[in-house]
Amino acid sequence: MREGVVLSGEEAANSILGKLLKRAENALAKDASRAISLRLSDKSVPEYWRLQRHKDKLECNAVLRVAEKQGGIKIEWDKRADENSQVERVLLLNENLLASYLGVVPRWVLIEQASREFALYLALYPILEQVLEKWRHGSQVRNSKPGDFEVWISAIRVIDYCRNKVGDDIPIRRLSASIFSNSKRLETLVPYIDSLIQNDLSAAIREAEEVFSELGLVKFPPTLLLAGDLAVLYGQQETRVLRPYIGLAPKEIKAIKKEVSFSYLLTVENLTTFHELVSQRPQGAIVFYTGGMPSPSWKRVYKLLLQELPRNASIYHWGDIDGGGFRIANHLAMCCLEVGFDLRLHCMTASLLSSDTVIARDLSLAERTQIQNICERWSWKNEKDGLGPVAIEQEALPIVWPAT
């Protein structure tokens, strides 16, 4: 109830009964067995004491009597006032009858329904247990409230579809229309999709583009940008990669082979840096633009390229020094591991930043922890030890090539 708002007698009674029902919901969430009641004090139920007209007070008391007759509550009357004119306390007798009288579906019923709906998915998505627990205590989860189980199940449908189409690029709106008969619904599910993928409700929600790329969801088919002394089997035709770079549809790339002696492979997160690098690329170096978080089709081509390189090849990645940049590096490191390589990071320590650089933002504690965990996983000690307190965009750093 808003401060200072005077309700009608019926509105005040429904507000009182709603507060009592909320106490019942909270008590059941804690599995409490004590009696549940609500004392109508000026502090806890000000709306009752603001009923200045005798008519409104009578109306409020009458509504409470109806709820009592239906078996949901018991009224304790103030013995100091005229007979049955002033309510002192309302006691809960039957929470389900009270909810029925108010015409609402109580939280415990919504949780039971959500538990049944989630049962099939708990093994693969254990985070749903945490969602239920938070709902049970009345908290919202990613703006979903008890009863909003459908958004989580819809998110699971998207994830499962994409994982069954691994390696494919899937148009976002076409998939959304085919699953939900609504071309834009999928884009509203990002917070739930991301939580399910990360299996962590405390993790910050990532940008939609990053989440979609991880699943292979695209707004339009991507163009793969590649620079190097290479030949690509593109469809049924072999095509040389000309200077400064070539743009190709990743799904049409069947194989890649190097044409000259190899120096190293460098993947680059941002487009500006990619263009600056390829304009001065030394012979033997391969530069590959990730386009942010790499999609499954991009990673397929990346692994084709890795398979062409010698076993002692130097593989580098250069990206932003922030959570997103290191999550991209984590994905690339997993690709390298599958093919038998170790990924090294290039220019991803804060010590490279000049003192006069304008800083966009500080790294949050959660983001720093995530970066350090990724570095620990892949033994990137220099990057872990050199992590500063701020996020650094790749474009803020000068162009530097890996040492050969």
- 18-63, pLDDT tens digit by residue? 999 999 999 888 876 678 999 999 898 999 998 888 899 999 999 9
Integer Cα distance of 332 and 336 in angstroms: 6
34 closest CA partner among 87, 92, 107, 112: 92
Query: pLDDT band at residue 4, thresholds of 50, 70 and 90?
Result: low
d(CA 185, CA 188): 5
Average pLDDT value over all residues in the chain: 90
The pLDDT confidence band at residue 121, using thresholds 50, 70 and 90, is very high
Lowest mean pLDDT among 11-25, 121-135, 148-162, 251-265: 251-265
Band of residue 233 on the pLDDT scale cut at 50, 70, 90: very high
Strand 170-171 and strand 217-218: pairing?
parallel
Q: Using the predicted structure, report yes or no on whether residue 229 has a pLDDT greater than 60.
A: yes
* Of the candidate ranges 258-262, 342-346, 349-353, the one whose mean pLDDT is the lowest: 349-353
Helical axes 323-339 vs 296-308, angle rounded to 10°: 50
Min mean pLDDT across 81-85, 108-112, 304-308, 400-404 is at 81-85
Look up the pTM and report it.
0.71
Residue 352 has pLDDT above 90, yes or no: no
Which amino acid does the sequence have at 62? Answer: A
In the predicted model, is pLDDT for residue 367 greater than 60?
yes
Q: How does pLDDT run across 129-139, given as a tens digit for each residue?
A: 999 999 999 99
Describe the strand order of the beta sheet including 237-240 as a list of residue ranges: 237-240, 230-234, 253-258
* Closest among 328, 313, 295, 315 to 394, alpha carbons compared: 328
- Spell out the domains of the chain, with CATH numbers in brackets: 9-102 (1.10.10), 107-218 (no CATH), 224-396 (3.40.1360.10)
202 pLDDT tier (thresholds 50, 70, 90) = confident
Task: Determine if the peptide bond prior to 46 is cis (ω within 30°).
Answer: no
Q: What are the tokens at 83? A: 């007979």
The residue to which tokens 């049962």 are assigned: 119
What mean pLDDT comes out for the span 208-229? 88
SS3 317: strand
For residues 340-348, average pLDDT = 96
Pick from 3-12, 243-252, 313-322: least confident: 3-12
- 287 phi and psi angles, rounded to 5 deg: -120, 130
pLDDT band at 150 (very low <50, low <70, confident <90, very high): very high
Helices (H) and strands (E) in the chain, counts: 15, 16
pLDDT of residue 258: 87
pLDDT-based confidence at residue 360 (cuts at 50, 70, 90): low
Average pLDDT estimate for 373-385: 95
Residue 313 has pLDDT above 70, yes or no: yes
User: In this predicted structure, what is the pLDDT of residue 102?
Assistant: 95
Position 1 pLDDT exceeds 60: no
What integer pLDDT is reported at residue 87 of this predicted model? 92
pLDDT of res. 106: 94
Cα distance between residue 102 and residue 98, in whole Å: 6
pLDDT at 329 over 70: yes
Q: What pLDDT, on the 0 to 100 scale, is given for residue 314?
A: 95
Using CA atoms, how far apart are residues 85 and 54, in angstroms rounded to an integer?
10
Whether pLDDT at 169 is above 60: yes
What tokens does 268 get? 């680059």
Strand 253-258 and strand 246-248: pairing? unpaired
Instruction: Kindly indicate the confidence band of residue 259, based on its pLDDT and cuts at 50, 70 and 90.
Output: confident
Percent of the chain, pLDDT > 70? 96
Residue 332: name the closest of 295, 381, 372, 382 by CA: 295
Distance CA 206, CA 398 (A): 27
Flag whether pLDDT at 241 surpasses 90: yes
Q: What is the pLDDT of residue 297?
A: 87
Tokens of 366: 């959660």
Cα–Cα dist 240/234, whole Å: 10
Please list the alpha-helical segments (H only) found in 224-364. 271-278, 296-308, 323-339
What is the pLDDT averaged over residues 233-261?
A: 90
As a whole-number percent, the residues of the chain with pLDDT over 90 amount to 67
Q: Give the DSSP H or E segment for 175.
A: helix 172-180
Q: Closest Cα to residue 128, out of 195, 187, 180?
A: 195
Contact (CB, 8 A) for 299 and 308: no
Compute φ and ψ for 316, nearest 5 degrees: -125, 155
